[in-house]
Homo-oligomer: A and B are copies of this chain.
């Protein structure tokens, strides 16, 4: 996942490693809801989430005490509780900057609404792209960034610009008052300590897999 976190405001004692896993639990719970399952156990939920049962129980213990001993967890209420803990009760409005291949795909990604997000604006610097429609929105010029952020009450920005422009755009995003950035550009962003940046870089992920692939090949050639 995500690879870089800056300026994390650590909340009421919830470890950030725990926070990073809450979305997986929520996903698994919603899956159970949709399958009509009413109750689950730490073993089942952990398996669906890809973690160990002890980890799951420990994580949930930071949020409160939500299961019934000897029985398990109520799927609906646990889902509701995690939703609240993540702060997804009121909608978060996001702007996507950089409507190239990736930005376009991100704009069309369905499932924002279901997860508590609303794509409020799309921005790009290219005259060829500005004015076109995508995902039901007209792409606006990135020069209007500050105005758009205020008008649309944007609290999260998704950066999908070319790497070369990412830092400059990020500086303006921060200046406009946004404190949460999801960065898809293959560059580490310099931001003030009170801004959170999460970075997603496909190239890096592939390189990490390549390392493990090589390690396996090496282990096999030496082990036998």
| In-complex Cβ contact of A101 among B4, B10, B109, B181 (8 A) | B109
Contact bitstring A122-158, B, C-beta under 8 A = 1, else 0? 0000000000000000000000000000000001101
* A46 smallest CB distance to B (angstroms): 10
Query: Which of A36-44, A71-79, A168-176, A192-200 contacts the other chain?
Result: A192-200
| A209 (CB) vs chain B CBs: closest residue | B180
| In-complex Cβ contact of A182 among B21, B49, B209 (8 A) | B209
- CB-CB under 8 A from A219, the residues of chain B are 9, 11
| Interface set of A (CB-CB < 8 Å, partner B) | 1-4, 6, 8-12, 19-24, 26-28, 47-50, 85-88, 92, 94, 101-102, 104-106, 108-109, 111-112, 115-117, 155-156, 158, 179-182, 186-190, 194, 196, 198-216, 218-219
| Contact indicator A116/B210 (Cβ below 8 Å) | yes
| Contact indicator B199/A28 (Cβ below 8 Å) | no
| Contact indicator A48/B92 (Cβ below 8 Å) | no
* A201 smallest CB distance to B (angstroms): 7
| A3 (CB) vs chain B CBs: closest residue | B1
Kindly state the separation between the CA atoms of A224 and B194 in the bound complex, as whole angstroms.
17
* A211-B85 CB under 8 A given contacts A6-B50, A203-B111: yes
* A210-B24 CB under 8 A given contacts A11-B215, A201-B1: no
| Contact indicator A216/B9 (Cβ below 8 Å) | yes
* A193 smallest CB distance to B (angstroms): 12
Kindly state the separation between the CA atoms of A133 and B190 in the bound complex, as whole angstroms.
39
| Contact indicator A50/B4 (Cβ below 8 Å) | yes
